[in-house]
Structure 1
Amino acid sequence: MPDKIYLDYNASAPLKPEARDTAVAALGIGGNPSSVHQSGREARAIIERAREDVAILVGGRTQDVIFTSGATEANNLAIRGFVPEGEPRRVIVNGTEHPSVLEAVGDAEHLPVKADGVVDIGFLQRMLADRDWRNCLVSVMAVNNETGVVQPIDEVVAVAHAAGAKVHCDAVQAAGHMPIDMLERGIDIVTISAHKMGGPRGVGAVATGPGVALNAIIRGGGQERGMRSGTENPAGIAGMGAVCASAPSYGPNVAKARELRDRLEVALRETIPASVIVAANSPRVGHVCCVALPGVPAETQVMMMDLEGIAVSAGAACSSGKIKTSHVLREMGLGDDISGSAIRVSFGWNSRDEDVDGFLEAFHRMAARIGS
């Protein structure tokens, strides 16, 4: 078995040293953050420092950051908690969103994307044209987790606000890779996750803009300003704060990830003509490549690459042990030959040139074995 090559940063990034060290140090504080004695105050101070770091990263206000158990809970809080219970509301979600957005409420309306994976702004205008929507939330992610397509959030905000609607942006795959600047851009709610940036698993955050009040979906204790009951996780939150604080200094790593991704895609086009780079001509972040071998099931590719010591993901989601055709690629109008045969290669802060070399060697062997 060769040395392991990890190319699945969009699923979970390896823990950054600063996150590990900060989280370990926080583990030594035994107090409950809600206690008023010294140990409790020390734990509370850790959380509040991290809250400041998250606010700075997303461009929001410290007092408007709420810690959660991860992005799935954060997205549910953003959408399900948008208006007080019992009041009428409307939710519009981009059809290529993460399932935690698509499935947060059962009556969400879907905003389609065009063939390039970018949301149809004209369609959104028509959806909002019939009235002044004061209790409407439009949810569009900053960066798609499967394809890396960057959505026109500024245009979404302009259209939504003109109709009186608010905007939620799942920025999980954008945080640490590009500026978010929620207050400057007028984004009303932002959600992020620690472990996608190299922080600990099981920690996320919601940041709200001025005038946005969410309704708690977890009650019984009143923690996080009454918005998320349950004793906070100071160690995990501290690790999240550390990666948020270090994100601005990781510009060279972001550039390196793009360089590696671009080299990978050039090589695939030149040496395996049957391969298809999804959304190749769309606006994309630089660390994600979604590549399909038409007719070869994604799960087969993932397993064969794993046997070669290379970790990648299927472009499709797993549910109860069954691989499903990617809803993202189907929304883009791609047939089953592509949407069922796409894998995702994603780079990050610790990616190396030899990772690309190893992937290409293994991918060539796999393609030759299956006759592509």
Structure 2
Amino acid sequence: MEKRIYLDYAATTPLAEEVNRAVYAFGQKDTGNPSSPHRFGQQAKILLEDARDVVAAGLNCKPGEIIFTSGGTESNNAAITGTLNAVDSIGKHIILSALEHPSVLETAAYLERIGFEISLIQPDANGLITPVQVGKSIRPDTVLASIMYVNNETGIVHDSAGIAEICHKNNIIVHCDAVQAFGKIPLDTAKLNADLLSVSAHKVYGPKGIGALIIKKGTPFSGIHFGGGQEANRRPGTENLAGVIGFAEAVKLLEQSKKDMAYAGNLQRLFESAIKQEIPSAVIIGEQMKRTSFISAIAFPGIHNENMLLNLDLAGIAVSVGSACSSGSIKQSHVLKAMALPDEIINSTIRFSYGRYTKPKELDETVNTIKQIIKRLA
């Protein structure tokens, strides 16, 4: 059998078997449109709201604060543009970090074209965005700050609660992209205190194409789509009920997230220790920083990351690099560039990400394969 080792959990997690069964079971039922008044529709509505209750409990928020979306990108787009639609008469200044996901940065680029001003905070030398940095960027016309919780390339964890605190002292709305935090570090929306928060099911062993935007009660928001009155008039369109049910099942499984975190922490320690021992020239990005245990960004100076990725793929090992454009060619990571790392490090960094189904022996095989690739390409 061909060797296949999947170390790209940060891109998407495998679908949990329990989730697969729940979605399949739903598909065997005769249900209607949740917006329809007849019995079939009302049965679907009950399933929708029961699932919403489960997701809300998992995030420690109120069910009415949840909008189901198509995933993290839509949640981020909606959080930013929906908020600004509601408050643009108050101010047109937004604070972001240079580390954000493209779904945030590209939204900001569009907003600049229509008259908004963006302050793009550069990380400190450790790749961190601090509350102090955010505070220094605040202006009288600042209306929104959007800073991610966990970086998707390095795994570095930011002080999102501290950022929210300093913003709220200045009456600024806070959005937190928590897509890579959900299920990877303890996530309590009440303690985090962001006004808007984005999550995605396929990062927690759920289906692709379903996510959520949590909008704290009282937060100004004007929907960016037009149509029916679904999701409390904030996101029109017939709900993806199969996806929602799968999402809820994945959230139920997060009851074992502490076990997952401990397991991933052990995997990370084993993997990074082996890399340092077997490949002394390797550089672990953010090694001394607070990181999620599920991501290791590692540079192999002298070996271009595209060559490493392709050779690992040929060996049956799936990993990733910073960013890829639509053609599939690899470009420099905007995250590592923002951290002001030298090109030699940026161009040789690979992201390894693991999770619930990763086996320690797979990491041993990966280290050995990397050694062979370096020996062959150096």
Match of 2:115 in 1: none
Contact 1:92 1:138 in 2 (8 A): yes
Instruction: Please report how far the alpha carbon of residue 257 of structure 1 lies from its aligned counterpart in structure 2 after TM superposition.
Output: 1.1
- After superposition, residues 179-190 of structure 1 pair within 5 angstroms as 179-190=186-197
Unaligned runs of 5+ in 1: none
One-letter identity of the residue aligned with 2:362: D
Contact 1:111 1:120 in 2 (8 A): no
Contact 1:182 1:188 in 2 (8 A): no
- 2-side partners of 1:16 and 1:179: how far apart? 20
Instruction: Please report how far the alpha carbon of residue 325 of structure 1 lies from its aligned counterpart in structure 2 after TM superposition.
Output: 0.2
| Structure 1 ranges of 4+ moved more than 6 A | none
Instruction: Please report how far the alpha carbon of residue 185 of structure 1 lies from its aligned counterpart in structure 2 after TM superposition.
Output: 3.1
- 1-side partners of 2:51 and 2:243: how far apart? 10
Match of 1:94 in 2: 97
Match of 1:228 in 2: 235
Match of 1:57 in 2: 58
Where 1:357 maps in the other structure, the secondary structure is: helix
Matching of residue 15 in structure 1 with residue 4 in structure 2? no
Where 1:321 maps in the other structure, the secondary structure is: coil
Contact 2:283 2:298 in 1 (8 A): yes
One-letter identity of the residue aligned with 2:92: R
Matching of residue 363 in structure 1 with residue 364 in structure 2? no
One-letter identity of the residue aligned with 1:44: K
State the Cα deviation string for residues 35-59 of structure 1 (Å, max 9, x = none): 1122211221221112112212222
Instruction: Please report how far the alpha carbon of residue 322 of structure 1 lies from its aligned counterpart in structure 2 after TM superposition.
Output: 2.6
Match of 1:237 in 2: 244
Instruction: Please report how far the alpha carbon of residue 299 of structure 1 lies from its aligned counterpart in structure 2 after TM superposition.
Output: 1.6
Match of 2:170 in 1: 163
Unaligned runs of 5+ in 2: 113-117
- Mean Cα deviation higher: 207-216 or 275-284: 207-216
Instruction: Please report how far the alpha carbon of residue 141 of structure 1 lies from its aligned counterpart in structure 2 after TM superposition.
Output: 0.9
One-letter identity of the residue aligned with 1:102: L
Instruction: Please report how far the alpha carbon of residue 204 of structure 1 lies from its aligned counterpart in structure 2 after TM superposition.
Output: 0.6
Contact 1:60 1:208 in 2 (8 A): no
- Mean Cα deviation higher: 75-84 or 316-325: 316-325
Match of 1:105 in 2: 108
- Mean Cα deviation higher: 49-58 or 150-159: 49-58
TM-score after normalising by structure 1: 0.95
Contact 1:250 1:349 in 2 (8 A): no
- 2-side partners of 1:335 and 1:78: how far apart? 34
- 2-side partners of 1:52 and 1:90: how far apart? 35
- 1-side partners of 2:55 and 2:273: how far apart? 36
- 2-side partners of 1:358 and 1:315: how far apart? 23
Where 1:313 maps in the other structure, the secondary structure is: coil
One-letter identity of the residue aligned with 2:176: C
Q: Alignment partner for residue 125 of structure 1, among 135, 148, 155?
A: 135
One-letter identity of the residue aligned with 1:113: P
Instruction: Please report how far the alpha carbon of residue 333 of structure 1 lies from its aligned counterpart in structure 2 after TM superposition.
Output: 0.9
Match of 2:27 in 1: 27
Contact 1:142 1:174 in 2 (8 A): yes
Contact 2:320 2:350 in 1 (8 A): yes
Contact 2:10 2:203 in 1 (8 A): yes
- 1-side partners of 2:60 and 2:165: how far apart? 18
State the Cα deviation string for residues 185-234 of structure 1 (Å, max 9, x = none): 32111100000110000001000112113211111122111111111111
Contact 1:298 1:316 in 2 (8 A): no
Contact 1:119 1:151 in 2 (8 A): yes
Matching of residue 282 in structure 1 with residue 286 in structure 2? no
Instruction: Please report how far the alpha carbon of residue 12 of structure 1 lies from its aligned counterpart in structure 2 after TM superposition.
Output: 0.4
- 1-side partners of 2:307 and 2:45: how far apart? 47
- 2-side partners of 1:362 and 1:227: how far apart? 49
TM-score after normalising by structure 2: 0.93
Match of 1:307 in 2: 314
Contact 1:310 1:359 in 2 (8 A): yes
- Mean Cα deviation higher: 186-195 or 115-124: 115-124
Where 1:104 maps in the other structure, the secondary structure is: helix
Instruction: Please report how far the alpha carbon of residue 77 of structure 1 lies from its aligned counterpart in structure 2 after TM superposition.
Output: 0.4
Where 1:221 maps in the other structure, the secondary structure is: coil
One-letter identity of the residue aligned with 1:121: P
Contact 1:136 1:166 in 2 (8 A): yes
Where 1:291 maps in the other structure, the secondary structure is: strand
